[in-house]
Structure formats: structure tokens, C-alpha cells
Amino acid sequence: MAEVDAARIAVGAAESRGLPIMLAATGVLTFLDFAAKDEIASPRRRRLVTGIIQTAIAGIGMLEARANPVNPFAIAPVPQPAAFGRYTAVAAGWYADERLAVHLLRRSRLSRPNTVAGALLAVSRPVGTLVAIRMMPRVDDRA
């Protein structure tokens, strides 16, 4: 039993070290992606910058999975459609709220609406990720 407890502590420590770095990096890259839309005039160059930044964001997620291969989330012994429904509703609501905020900011009279939207998303996306992680049942019953 001591080995299992030690493994849980090690997984928790690895997650608590890596998660803030990953969230900060994705927040900064999200901000840069949106801010570039205000700074770069050429649509082709904007798409190139967005592609590079989105690839970097995906790479950060893959590096996190590779660095921490232990899944700390519990696997349900039977399907749980109610839990899946709650999770999906929260994720869809969060996404819709972000899209609405970006749309309203872009229609505003701000001189740099995409930069403001990027700042908003740089904060809201990591928070949304934390909310989603906290909703998932964990192996060590820390729901």
C-alpha cells in the first residue's frame, strides 16, 4: 500500500509542477496569436503566424502528455452519461461565452480589439482548463 501512496504523491507532484507552466505557456501563445492579428496586415502572414502558434500550443500539450505519462483521472467501471453531459455542457458553454466575447470585442470601437480579445482568452482558457480538470474524477478520489 505504501508503494501506491508513493506513486500517487509522485504523480501529484509532477502534475503540480508541469500544469502551471503549460497553462502559462498556452496563455501567452494565445495572446500572441490574437495580438498578431492587429499587428500584421497581410492575411497570408497572419495565417502563417497563427499556424505556427497553434502548432506550438498543440506541441505543448503533447509534451505535457509525454513528460507525465501517468493518467491521474479515474476510469469509470460503467458508462456515466450524466457526468459526460455535465462536462459537455460546461465545455460548450465556456466555448460559446469565449466566442461571444471575442465577437463583441471585434465589433467594438477599440483600436486593437484582437489584442484585448487575446488578453481575455489568455486568462479564460487556462481557467477553463482548470475547471475541466477539476470536474474529472481522479484516481485518488480528489474530485
Would you list the domain boundaries of the chain?
2-135
Instruction: Name which residue leads in pLDDT, 83 or 127.
Output: 127
Angle, alpha carbons 29-34-38 (nearest 5°) = 135
Cα separation values, 28 from 71, 105, 108, 125, 133, Å: 26, 19, 23, 11, 20
Q: Report whether 120 contacts 101 (CB < 8 A).
A: yes
Q: What are the pLDDT digits (tens) for 15-47? A: 677 788 889 999 999 999 999 999 999 999 999
Distance, CA of 39 to chain centre: 24
Q: What is the pLDDT of residue 110?
A: 94
Nearby residues of 19 by Cβ (< 8 Å), 6 or more positions away = 64, 133
Q: Give the cell for residue 8.
A: 500517487
